[in-house]
Amino acid sequence: MFRSIAYTCGFMAVCLAAASVAYAQESTNRVNAKTDWSVFVEDKPVKECWVVSKPTKTVNTRGGKVVSAKRSDILLFVTYRPSNGVKGEVSFTGGYPFAPDSQVNLQVGNQNYSLFVDGEWAWPASASDDEKIRRALKNGASAILTARSKRGTKTKDIFSLNGFTAALADAEKRCL
């Protein structure tokens, strides 16, 4: 019984986070830009601040060969939602549904992190993982996210971290 309740609560949290990130993706309220990263702030329905960037390079492969793949927006986020206690949640959307039961690998320098997937979104497993990833992103030059689509396409998205630290500090100041 407890497991079922815990699973339901966890699933609802993921759904709420996905809805919030989707809303954040559609916002036009950009308040700042720091090199390759933008800062957004929304006050309604709740105060939310985030930094976001698009990849500087994308490679799609199937069967070891580079292929063309139709993908929607590919974005890496860090979000602050003070009313919900969210303090720097890392998320990624690959622009396609991820393969069920797969993981997204996030590499910064020689450090690797696993993100769990739900539909087109991926997140670290815990707030402590978010913190480790944010620290790595602050110190890194690029972030490489590799994943597998529901159709079997392997993707590799490279994000520049130029401006990440300044953008993150700005979002923190605005939302904490």
pTM: 0.83
Q: Select from 32, 159, 31, 138 the least CA-distant residue to 88.
A: 138
Q: Per-residue pLDDT for 71 more than 90? A: yes
Q: What pLDDT sits at residue 26?
A: 56
Helices (H), 27-151: 127-139
Does residue 45 have a cis bond before it (omega within 30 degrees)?
yes
In angstroms, the CA 155 to CA 165 distance is 26
In angstroms, the CA 98 to CA 152 distance is 9
Sheet holding 142-148, edge to edge: 30-34, 37-42, 48-53, 75-81, 86-93, 121-123, 111-118, 103-108, 142-148, 154-160, 57-62, 65-66
For the segment 72-117, what is each residue's pLDDT rounded down to a tens digit? 999 999 999 999 999 999 999 999 999 999 999 999 999 999 999 9
- Could you tell me the residue range of the domain that residue 22 belongs to? 2-175
Q: Average of pLDDT values for 31-53? A: 93
Q: What pLDDT sits at residue 19?
A: 40
Looking at the structure of the chain, the number of domains it has is 1
Q: Average of pLDDT values for 42-62? A: 95
Q: What is the DSSP-derived secondary structure letter of residue 83?
A: G
Q: Which residue has the tokens 């590919």?
A: 74
- Looking up residue 115, the CATH number of its domain turns out to be 2.60.40.1880
Q: Per-residue pLDDT for 140 more than 80? A: yes
For the segment 2-28, what is each residue's pLDDT rounded down to a tens digit? 222 233 233 333 333 444 444 444 557
